[in-house]
Amino acid sequence: MKNDLSSVLARCSDTASWFGIELNGVNCVNLMDDTPLHTVCSWGDLESARILIDAGADVNAKGDNGCSPIFNGVIGGNPKVLELLIRSGARVNSKNDDGRSVLEYARNIGSSEDVINTLLKVKGA
């Protein structure tokens, strides 16, 4: 399977959250205000996240419920995605619209020890 920017955007557009939305860039938003980076982070897809970030995706874009892509990375459960986001400038101390930090969110949804430890390594989480 080809894994370049156009194929990553095409895979995102095939999901229900992007139904009926023309995906014409890395920072476009769906009806929930999520970007393609939110989507691939929730899949735990490291390579697609890297492609989007390299193409200029905003790692701190606020999406559904005020969550930035790092919250979706927690959902995806891949510590490597979290590490990439953090290295790329994601704010680990950001809070969602419910006032929960990324670390609180990870604990609330029962994230793996690897995910929690990845967040704990970063000052400010």
Q: Domain residues for 92?
A: 5-120
CATH number of the domain residue 51 falls in: 1.25.40.20
The answer to the question of residue 21 being in a domain is yes
The answer to the question of residue 30 being in a domain is yes
Give the chain's domain count.
1
Say what the alpha-carbon torsion angle 114, 119, 122, 124 is, to the nearest 10 degrees: -160
Per-residue pLDDT, 22 = 87
> With contact defined as beta carbons under 8 Å apart, do 46 and 81 qualify?
yes
Q: Residue 124 above 80 pLDDT?
A: no
Per-residue pLDDT, 12 = 95
Q: What is the pTM of this model?
A: 0.94
Per-residue pLDDT, 67 = 98
Q: Residue 125 above 70 pLDDT?
A: no
The answer to the question of residue 125 being in a domain is no
122 pLDDT band (50/70/90 cuts)? confident
Which residues in 32-56 are b (16+ Cβ under 10 Å) and which e?
Answer: eebbbbbbbbbbbbbebbbbbbebe
The answer to the question of residue 25 being in a domain is yes
pLDDT in tens, 1-46: 457 999 999 999 999 889 888 888 999 999 999 999 999 999 999 9
Per cent of the chain over pLDDT 90 is 86
The answer to the question of residue 71 being in a domain is yes
The answer to the question of residue 96 being in a domain is yes
The answer to the question of residue 73 being in a domain is yes
Roughly what angle, to the nearest 10 degrees, separates helices 69-76 and 79-87? 160
Closest CA to 60 of 92, 103, 29: 92
Angle at CA 79, nearest 5°, toward 78 and 84?
Answer: 105
